Amino acid sequence: MVRAPAKSCPNLSRLFDDAEPSMIAAFLRMRVFDKLTWLADYHFEPDGADGDVPAAAMLREQRKEKLSPLETEAARIVNMSSDRGQFALDGLVRTKMPPDRKRQFDGQRDSLARSFWTYLNEPMLFEAAENTLHLRLYRRYDRHYQTFMVAPVQDGVADVASSALDTLLDDLRDRLDRGDGYEVDRFAIPQDGDEPAEVMYLVVHPEAPTSVRELHDDGQRTTMYFRPPGEIMIVHTPSTGRVHVRAGTRKLRHDAAESFIRTVLEQEPSQQPVDFQAYDIARFFNGFDLELPEFDDASILRARVIRVDISIGNLANRLSVSTSLDEDIGQLISDQPGLERIFRNALAIRFVEIAVQYRRGGVDGERTLDFTLTDRNTTSLLSLHDPFERVLGHRLLRHWGILRDGRAPTPRESMAVLPALLALWNLGSDRINGAWLHERGVDVKTLLDLGFLVPSGWEGDDLIDDEDDFAEHVAKVVERPEGLELYSTDGQSSSAALPERYRVYRIRDGWVASHLREQLGKALDIAAMENIRPDLIALGGLEIDGSDVPLYLARRLEDERVRAAIDTELRARDKQGIGLVLQAGDAAGSCVAANVLARLADHILLEATEIAVDMTSLISAFRRNRSLAQGGAAVEFHKSGNGAGVLSVPGKGTIDIVGAQRVMVIDRLVQAYPTPMKTDDMVAGIGNQSLGNIFGQSLWSKLKADFLRSPKRGLWEIAT
């Protein structure tokens, strides 16, 4: 069978057809192809009589699979020869390359030759141009990039000393803790139409060691361990103050941004989301008509939905209807018996494709813009090569009410969403489902508008992408006399009329925490806060009855391990006196580690136009429970069932006891007080266990330090 090189390896075929023989010869001898031993048969001298004949024969003689490494590299070269690629390449050449190298670059005969020459002779600059191209196509796509905000530079030019870059690398080395091998290069990106001038920093860092198995031509197999390079791209736009970061994981992006902003720009990073966008395709439940707007630079001739996918029965089932731009998909659905009712009762709209016919000002002829939207908050507009069409598409989506842009909350909105933000922060999770929000009456739309939540698909049998993990959830529909019900794998059920309960949202935990801190700082007049641990923040002090009372904000106290860790941290600060711990959640108890515990939401003035704390009720709560935090007037053990309790010892404070065996031991000891008790009697019926094993080393150490003492070997009593 005759091979068609232009179809099987189009980019490699173009190089061999259009590129200079000398470049092709150098390309085939590159080190990246050293393991391709068969390639040596096609090496040639460009000045020889045969020219590039051996290379051309390769396309006919070898299988596509064998040629794939060469095709991959050829695709990079061809892609950079496009108009946008050449703009990115030319801008970096002008700012980075010495004059003699610039002349060589300019002396190449066409765009493909310039791209090929840079690939062969300036590989680092070529990679930088690729990153520039990728940035301007995808930077508004949260899967690839995250954007952070800093103060803009007045003249749009940011001077950075080389010592600042060294500090950046040192800080990243400490954060990642992966040894040496860090490197950074700086590139100036020129202005491109509406895109302002930017500065790009490419940081190379070591990834965790890994291995690969290699099969040799003689059949021998070997394992090679190596440390692959990772790359972080940081792009700073001085005129707007935006910092775009691309890296492998969300955590790495945040670490890189924080390090860059503090060490290079010498500013403090803000957690407020920038460029947040949400695509609401659920509006098509109300119809598929799209109004034609009037723009100065483009005439919109037609705009129609040409494909829509819905979930029916359960979230795993999809029904798709598609047509052409000449047809009205809404009318098509209405004309089919029963189809309109199916769409009306669909669980969710999953995918929409829109076609727009338009005429651009100053350009002859009509054009068609075709793009897609999904329920995972993604759109193909972000991958369009033409920046005019990318902008036009987003303008249309805003006009139709499909696209929502994030904005800063007003004082009244901050007040309205405060209870929901406290609950979200208290979860300590990065995902939440619609059922949790619906049951608590949370205003999801406002949280989406303000960027605290981001749509992230559905609880269905398709994968929910978490970058570093995957999980599957199945929702099925069960018919009952009273109507249809949805059942999910976690045991929740819901009327099928409330599919939004099965929406999945990503929580912007950093933005939630930052906003809470800012609002509490204003309400309590706090200048500086300290992050003691992820679940505990020191808010400073509050003057009560002439004394300075330490103030804390805590979360996740419902989790035994988190509460124990917070207890340890607070006991290490007991010399500061009895404090007041404001909890974001609703954990039981009025004390924690000899500090008064209060639920923050109970002391918020809900009728206020902006966040305000009722200081009178807060101080009253402290005074009411201060004595109990010190241990009360008598030794007491307040049990909550058989599995938890709070031990109060006058002058010592209180301590939480969780676990049936632990509760049994402390209860026996309190019942015997003030008489010392034998160890054997304390653990009777529990088995042959030591007190250290029953309580665990951390809790046992706290008990021995403040609450229990041993008057003699084998005896224990409450320490008063």
- pLDDT band for position 7 (cuts 50, 70, 90): low
d(Cα 605, Cα 583) in Å, to the nearest integer?
A: 16
Is 90 exceeded by the pLDDT of residue 305?
yes
Count the Cβ atoms, other than its own, within 10 Å of residue 314: 19
pLDDT of residue 357: 95
Higher pLDDT, 3 or 616: 616
pLDDT of residue 2: 47
pLDDT of residue 300: 94
Place of tokens 């009037």: 294
Q: Taking the CA of residue 111 as centre, how many other CA atoms within 13 Å lie in the half-sphere pointing to its CB? A: 14
Is 70 exceeded by the pLDDT of residue 480?
no
Is 80 exceeded by the pLDDT of residue 81?
yes
**What is the DSSP-derived secondary structure letter of residue 350?**
E
Question: How confident is the model over 345-349, as a mean pLDDT?
Answer: 85
Token digits of residue 153:
């530079």
**Mean pLDDT of all residues in the chain?**
82
Q: Which of 87-96, 188-197, 670-679 has the lowest mean pLDDT?
A: 188-197
Cβ neighbors of 327 (< 8 A, separation 6 or more) are 304, 306
E strand map for 589-628: 591-592, 595-599
pLDDT of residue 54: 65
**What is the DSSP-derived secondary structure letter of residue 180?**
S
The string of pLDDT tens digits covering residues 521-570 is: 888 888 778 889 989 999 888 888 888 899 999 999 988 889 889 988 99
Residue type, 47: D
Token digits of residue 339:
């189809």
- pLDDT band for position 4 (cuts 50, 70, 90): low
Is 60 exceeded by the pLDDT of residue 485?
no
pLDDT of residue 494: 46
What does the buried/exposed string (b/e) look like for 317-356 if buried means 16 or more CB atoms within 10 Å of the residue's CB?
Answer: ebeebebeeeeebbeebeeeeeeeeebeebbbbbbbbbbb
Q: What percent of the chain has pLDDT over 90?
A: 18
Higher pLDDT, 473 or 648: 648
Higher pLDDT, 56 or 273: 56
Question: How confident is the model over 88-112, as a mean pLDDT?
Answer: 87
Is 50 exceeded by the pLDDT of residue 479?
no
Give start and end residues of each alpha helix (H) in 239-315: 250-263
| Contact by Cβ (8 Å): 213, 223 | yes
pLDDT of residue 145: 64
Token digits of residue 638:
């307040």
Query: 123-138 and 83-96 are packed helices; what angle lies between their axes, rounded to 10 degrees?
Result: 130
Question: How confident is the model over 501-511, as a mean pLDDT?
Answer: 82
The string of pLDDT tens digits covering residues 187-241 is: 887 776 667 888 888 888 888 888 878 777 788 888 878 778 888 888 888 888 8
Angle value at C-alpha 215, between 212 and 218, nearest 5 degrees: 155
| Contact by Cβ (8 Å): 237, 363 | no
Instruction: Please write down the HEC assignment for all residues of 625-680.
Output: HHHHHCCCCCCEEEECCCCEEEEEECCCEEEEEECHHHHHHHHHHHHHCCCCEEHH
pLDDT of residue 475: 45
Domains in the chain: boundaries: 5-134, 139-270, 278-401, 411-506, 525-629, 636-718
pLDDT of residue 96: 80
| Contact by Cβ (8 Å): 107, 208 | no
Question: How confident is the model over 374-382, as a mean pLDDT?
Answer: 80
Q: Provide the residue count of the chain.
A: 720
d(Cα 489, Cα 213) in Å, to the nearest integer?
A: 39
- pLDDT band for position 369 (cuts 50, 70, 90): very high
The string of pLDDT tens digits covering residues 463-474 is: 333 333 333 344
Token digits of residue 380:
């193909």
**Phi, psi at 303, each rounded to 5°:** -150, 120
- pLDDT band for position 582 (cuts 50, 70, 90): very high
Cβ neighbors of 469 (< 8 A, separation 6 or more) are none
Radius of gyration, alpha carbons of the chain? 33
CA 614 to chain centre: 35
Is 90 exceeded by the pLDDT of residue 179?
no
Highest mean pLDDT among 185-189, 484-488, 652-656 belongs to 652-656
pLDDT of residue 217: 75
The string of pLDDT tens digits covering residues 110-148 is: 999 999 999 999 988 898 888 777 665 554 444 556 778
Query: 21-28 and 10-18 are packed helices; what angle lies between their axes, rounded to 10 degrees?
Result: 130
Helix H or strand E segment including 119:
helix 111-121
pLDDT of residue 471: 37
Instruction: Decide: helix, strand or coil at residue 279.
Output: strand
Question: How confident is the model over 363-392, as a mean pLDDT?
Answer: 83
| Contact by Cβ (8 Å): 301, 290 | no
pLDDT of residue 612: 84
d(Cα 635, Cα 695) in Å, to the nearest integer?
A: 20
Token digits of residue 65:
């699979």
The string of pLDDT tens digits covering residues 405-452 is: 666 788 888 888 888 999 999 998 888 888 888 888 888 888 888 888
Cβ neighbors of 222 (< 8 A, separation 6 or more) are 213, 214, 216
The DSSP-derived string for 356-409 is: EEEEETT--S-EEEEEEEETTS-BGGGG-S-HHHHHHHHHHHHHTT-EEE--PP
The DSSP-derived string for 3-20 is: --HHHHSHHHHHHHHHS-
pLDDT of residue 463: 33
Question: How confident is the model over 280-290, as a mean pLDDT?
Answer: 89
The string of pLDDT tens digits covering residues 324-340 is: 999 999 999 999 988 88
Highest mean pLDDT among 65-79, 480-494, 501-515 belongs to 65-79
pLDDT of residue 470: 34
pLDDT of residue 5: 58
Give long-range contacts, CB 8 A cutoff, 24+ apart: 615-619: 618/542, 618/580, 619/544
